[in-house]
Amino acid sequence: MVPVTTAPTQRLSPTLDPGRRLLRPALRDAVRSHLGPEMSRIAQYHLGWADAEGRPTGTWGGKMIRPNLALLSARAAGAADTDGLPAAVAVELVHNFSLLHDDIMDGDETRRGRETAWAVFGVPNAILAGDAMVTAATSALLASPAPGAGSAAASLMAATQRMIDGQTCDVAFERRDQVSLAECLRMARGKTGALLGCACALGADLVGAEQPLIDGLRAFGEHLGLAFQLVDDVLGIWGDTRSTGKQIGADLRVRKKSLPVVAALNAPGADELRALYLGSGPLPEHAVGRVADLVEQAGGRRWAQEEAARQTAAAEQSLAAAEMPDGVRGEFLEIAGFLLGRKL
């Protein structure tokens, strides 16, 4: 097992760059042709292309991991990456729909260093903009003449449903004192794994690939998604603000039931941790460090790192078993390594 120790870097993987050049105009076209003018304005703000008045920012939000995986997925099936563009656009729209609605639910006022859409345009408009983006995702896929457009749209909706289910569990866990590790893993598989798995398979699905390739790519992405969530959860407790943008203890302050915490809460002798952590309202500042230590002492950090390594190994196995050109496999591994913050 390979321990996951280094933090995700913000440096862009070279593999992501060509994809971004292809994706920008395609995503821009999709937003302009499938969303109404008002919703398009909010979507462009949320995506980082425009300011609140609709003026171009000249920048671009997000790392576009998922759409790049979708382009690679089409290439894995022997198609050109341009053939995978509708899948890439659709998966990025669904990802951003979830961010828009999650920011409302979590009451988060900033994202990527800017005010969130609901904070700028109000909750009703941000709800509608999310609705418009998930609707446009299906439209973008079904507008493709590719043989697998219907199958890809069905896969994307199934993954979206699992993602919604995962987010629902996350919301429900906040109010529960008892959450098992199995429940928490299922939540993370839905919330993070489902869409990442879908992204890795969607391009192949769209271009009409054989089912074993689609299934293998989806399994790769689902394991990768869970590994990413575990790494992200570790960083949410012990993370380094400079290299990740995440504040140390950020997840603990809001008493988040992340995977390492739930592992620790279910370990023997977690009485002090339970007494400190279960409750409502922000965790007092003086307790943050103590909780982090207790989670570590109970084995939550070690388990999360080991589980991330197991999931990473399972992702690599799934990828190795799927038939595709070696160059494409290498690029999948490069993006996975970028996502997990280390070479694979």
List residues near its own copies by CB under 8 A: 34-39, 97, 101, 104-105, 123-125, 127-128, 130-132, 134-136, 138-139, 142-143, 149-150, 153-154, 157-158, 160-162, 164-165, 167-169, 171-172, 190
Closest approach, Cβ 106 to its own copies, in A, equals 8
Residue 169 or 199: the one with the smaller Cβ distance to its own copies is 169
Closest approach, Cβ 150 to its own copies, in A, equals 4
Amino acid in position 206? L
Residue 158 or 320: the one with the smaller Cβ distance to its own copies is 158
What's the N-to-C CA distance of the chain in angstroms? 12
Closest approach, Cβ 114 to its own copies, in A, equals 21
Closest approach, Cβ 50 to its own copies, in A, equals 17
Closest approach, Cβ 296 to its own copies, in A, equals 30
Quote the CA–CA distance of 188 and 307 in Å, as a whole number.
13
Amino acid in position 313? A
Closest approach, Cβ 196 to its own copies, in A, equals 17
Residue 135 or 317: the one with the smaller Cβ distance to its own copies is 135
Residue 1 or 123: the one with the smaller Cβ distance to its own copies is 123
Residue 46 or 75: the one with the smaller Cβ distance to its own copies is 46
Quote the CA–CA distance of 197 and 280 in Å, as a whole number.
34
Show the 3-state SS of 78-131: CCCHHHHHHHHHHHHHHHHHHHHHHHHHHCCCEECCEECHHHHHCHHHHHHHHH
Residue 31 or 264: the one with the smaller Cβ distance to its own copies is 31
Quote the CA–CA distance of 203 and 9 in Å, as a whole number.
26
